[in-house]
Structure 1
Amino acid sequence: MSDVRHDGKPDIQAYLERIGYDGPLDGSAETLAALQECHLHAVPYENLDILRRVPLSLEIPALFDKIVVRRRGGYCFELNALFGWLLQELGYPVVSLMARFWRDEPNPPPKRRHHVLKVGVGDNYYLCDVGVGGIVPRRPILMVEKLEHEQGDECYRLERVDYYGWMLCEWKRGEWSRLYSFTEEPQLPKDFVMATYWCENAPDSIFIKDAMVAIRTKEGRNTVSGNEFRIFTSEGVRAFTPQTEADYQTALRTYFGIEIGV
């Protein structure tokens, strides 16, 4: 199978195989949800290129090469850009938006440094996001205020907040907690260039400090924070720290399918 079409454009079928999706492509809300969930279970969130000082490209051919051909992951500006391209190629109306990430923010209000997608299905619009390393909705969120979305043992809803627009909230410890906010001003690809430059280079950017890797699994999720790997399953959490660089690379390959250097 070729990953690039004869006309040089990325191949949709290769992308679908990368995320393990072989269902209908009918433009429905059900298909949209399945595509997002498959993506979260197949493509890891990771900032390893940023740590290695490898400059990121947000151009679709470069993202396709990294994520589909070389089977790497990325962070929000990479993952949602490419996922948005896939959805558009499949006929979904897609608008890119900029968001403020509130969860664990030490100095609110936070900067606008997160890329999310507004996706149309018929007369409805959905919030789609495959670009967060922490726990976030695994399926699209219908953009209706205070409509609760139960997804497994997680629950989310959107609220309207003065100045910040839509606020995605999660039910946590018996109350609704802010996850991230966004307005509906459409963003062009070039609008994300300065935000990703800040994330890659600013001294106070969290992305340049420690490794952050995460992926959903059938049993739960796998994560890396710094050098510590955590494997979450229904039986609990197993944590370990590889003692050598070779062991670290083996663990990345085993739990995330990541091959550094490709």
Structure 2
Amino acid sequence: MQVDEYLHRIGAVRPARPDLEGLRHLQERHVLTVPFENLGYHLDEEIHLGGRVVDKIVRQRRGGGCYETNPAFGMLLTALGYDVEILPGRVFRPDGLGPPYCHLALRVSVGGVPWLVDTGFGRNSRRPLRLDDPGPQPDPHGVFHVRDGEVTCDGRPLYRVEDRPARLDDFRPTLWWWRTCPDSPFLQDVFCSLPTDGGRATLRGRRLTVDGVATELTDDAAVFAAYRKYFGIDLDRLPRDPVARAAGVILDDAPGSRP
């Protein structure tokens, strides 16, 4: 029943067998329907690594970061008969390669061929990428390369995954850092993003960008409506805006903003 609910949530058809065609279909549907978002970090919600995140994605119709969407998607793939492993990764930042275990991706083996599956990076591919092919891999989101675990898109380095698989519990220390450290990017910005037919829809605080066109939303009602229209998310309160708080603007007493 839970598998059927998950498939319905992402608008996917159950594969007849755990083959590559089914994997491509499932990843594409997941990427196009489950937002890359960090709202929970600013709504005082707990961030889970285990099965409880499936309920968040399926029944609450929310999204999340890589620690949430990829393990949940991995559970779905495992239930459908796929061979799934968790791979730790390091993200490329302006000042160099980030620390270990700051990214979580999946390795899915189909017929002995290893595929990189990622639904939680924001700029990830829409379809699986071969881990053993260093050549160009065209995708609706760009031209990707995977060389010695390093993933690039249109020549821009994104992250590097290790070859040795990890356990979900291995990510708990870094999840604590993402969740509590003032330097955590997830605490410095509120964002929600989802690909569209013409590009991408992204809401950062009150700035909505749809297919390259940006709009400043002037009131809470417009923000609630944007979450609903572009991401399918119904909120009963808005996440706190860390940018405004850092600038000394107090929003906690604004309608819809109180925790």
Into which bin does the TM-score normalised by the smaller protein fall? Answer: 0.7 to 0.9
1:95 and 2:78 correspond? no
Amino acid corresponding to residue 146 of structure 1 in structure 2: P
Q: Is the 8 A contact 1:19 1:42 kept in 2?
A: yes
Runs of 4+ aligned structure 1 residues displaced above 6 Å come to none
| Residue 218 of structure 2 corresponds to residue 229 of structure 1 | no
Q: Distance in 1 between matches of 2:164 and 2:131?
A: 15
Post-superposition CA distance 1:154-185 (Å, at most 9, x none): 1011112xxxxx101122xxxx2211101122
Uncovered stretches (5+) of structure 1, i.e. residues with no partner: 6-10, 161-165
Alpha-carbon distance in structure 1 between the residues aligned to 2:203 and 2:210:
9
TM-score of the superposed pair, with normalisation by structure 2:
0.87
Q: CA RMSD in A?
A: 1.5
Scaled by the length of structure 1, what TM-score is found?
0.86
1:153, distance to aligned residue in structure 2 (A):
6.3
Tell whether the 8 Å contact from 1:128 to 1:141 is kept in structure 2 after alignment: yes
Distance 2:50 2:235 in 1: 21
Map 1:89-168; keep pairs closer than 5 Å.
89-102=79-92, 105-112=93-100, 113-133=102-122, 135-152=123-140, 154-160=142-148, 166-168=149-151
Secondary structure at the residue paired with 1:115?
A: strand
| Matched length | 236
Q: Distance in 2 between matches of 1:248 and 1:88?
A: 36
Q: Distance in 2 between matches of 1:215 and 1:246?
A: 20
Shift of 1:145: 3.7
Residue aligned with 1:67, SS: helix
Residue 23 (structure 1) shift: 5.1
Report how far residue 106 of structure 1 moved.
2.6
Q: CA deviation at 1:128?
A: 0.2
Using the aligned pairs only, state the percent identity: 32
- Structure 2 residue 67 is the aligned partner of structure 1 residue 77: yes
Task: Show CA shifts across 1:91-128 (max 9, x none).
Answer: 111010111111xx132121231110000101101000
- Check whether the contact 1:71–1:258 (CA below 8 A) recurs between aligned residues: yes
1:87–1:221 distance in 2 versus 1, CA, 3 Å:
same
